[in-house]
Amino acid sequence: MGLREYVVRRFLQLIVTFWAFFTLLFVLFRMMPGDPTSMFILDGMTPEQREQRIAELGLDQPLYVQYVEYIRQLLTGDFGQSFIYREPVTDIILIRFMNTIVLMGTALVFAYLIGVTFGALMGWWRNSRFERGGIIVTLMARSSPEFWVGIVLLSVFVFWLGWFPSSGMRTTGGELGGGFVARYGSLDFLRHLFLPALTGAIVYLATPTLLMRSTMLDVLNADFIEIKKAEGLPERTVLYKHAARNSILPLVTVAAIATGAAMGGSVVIETVFNWPGMGREMVRAVNNNDYPVAMAAFFLMGSVVILMNFVADLAYVYLDPRVEYE
């Protein structure tokens, strides 16, 4: 099987995966007890108002009618209207999705930069105190729950040292809206970004560190490293140019998959730091039975996971000629 055939087949699989995914989403959300009017009933919505609203939303229609309508909307790239906010879902989701991407993207970049360097050095200095201490620190970071890391950082950097703001994405009372640069380019934003991104970086640091270390150990035992050393190359050159470079390959897959996972993991970080991202919105939408928003949010997050797996597969084939197309 050639590369092209492999890509085509993988792409078809992708489409089936997507179909199964959003059908499952649809069924799951419709099975959830309650409906979008539940949150208003104790606030005084009358039974007549309730029925009228349900009919307006088309929720009195048979399930298959709603399903067909949902698929039709999706195919035209339309996620519908929020049941609660009464605004197009796209408007609600996109801005929050960007906020989440900026936060988790920063966290992952730091996690992988630090993790890869740290892991390479741990492998290089095998059996040193540095390696043993490094493993303990890494394992601690790996087993700490996100909310706990967040709270510890908050108590040190906010409540004790007072260096950073405790929540949000910018200081309240400033100019709202604005373009990409106005949003994410200011110093105020970076101050707000620091702690939540650090929390994410600490939590996601362990995987690249440990993986890098163990592949380094394999590579260092390979004959060609011995040869390079025998050639009389300086240690530094062997470490960076030959050992580390060859160890990085498995990380490509892991990084792609971790990106997907991190999108889901953002829920906790966003809650602790009140980050106006998609994770928080997802929780709200699920609690309020705001199906269109909840489904769109899950759909986007799930899509990141599915697409990143796809990218990982392709990248692997491209990067490592030894991989066979099955």
User: Which residues of the shown chain bind another protein in the complex (CB under 8 A)?
Assistant: 32-35, 37-53, 84-86, 92, 95-96, 99, 154, 158-159, 162, 165-170, 172-173, 175-177, 270-274, 276, 280-281, 284, 287-289
Q: Rank residues 64 and 159 by Cβ distance to another protein and give the closer one.
A: 159
Q: Are 84 and 290 in contact (CB under 8 A)?
A: yes
Q: Rank residues 27 and 32 by Cβ distance to another protein and give the closer one.
A: 32
In the complex, the smallest distance separating the C-beta of residue 28 from another protein, rounded to whole angstroms, is 14
CA distance 87 to 290: 12
Instruction: Find all residues with CB under 8 Å of 206, minimum gap 6, and list them.
Output: 115, 138, 139, 141, 142
Q: Rank residues 112 and 291 by Cβ distance to another protein and give the closer one.
A: 291
In the complex, the smallest distance separating the C-beta of residue 189 from another protein, rounded to whole angstroms, is 12
Tokens standing for 20? 């199964």
In the complex, the smallest distance separating the C-beta of residue 58 from another protein, rounded to whole angstroms, is 15
Q: Rank residues 13 and 52 by Cβ distance to another protein and give the closer one.
A: 52
Nearest to 94 by CA among 296, 268, 273: 296
In the complex, the smallest distance separating the C-beta of residue 103 from another protein, rounded to whole angstroms, is 13
Distances (CA, A) of 166 to 156, 160, 182, 272: 11, 11, 21, 9
Instruction: Find all residues with CB under 8 Å of 37, minimum gap 6, and list them.
Output: 45, 50, 53, 54
Distances (CA, A) of 40 to 43, 47, 119: 5, 11, 53
CA distance 163 to 153: 11
Q: Rank residues 250 and 276 by Cβ distance to another protein and give the closer one.
A: 276
CA distance 300 to 37: 25
Q: Are 88 and 81 in contact (CB under 8 A)?
A: yes
For 77, the 3-state DSSP assignment is: coil
b/e code 235-252 from CB counts within 10 Å (16+ = b) = eeebbeebbbebbbebbb
Q: Rank residues 67 and 85 by Cβ distance to another protein and give the closer one.
A: 85
Q: Rank residues 92 and 141 by Cβ distance to another protein and give the closer one.
A: 92
In the complex, the smallest distance separating the C-beta of residue 311 from another protein, rounded to whole angstroms, is 29
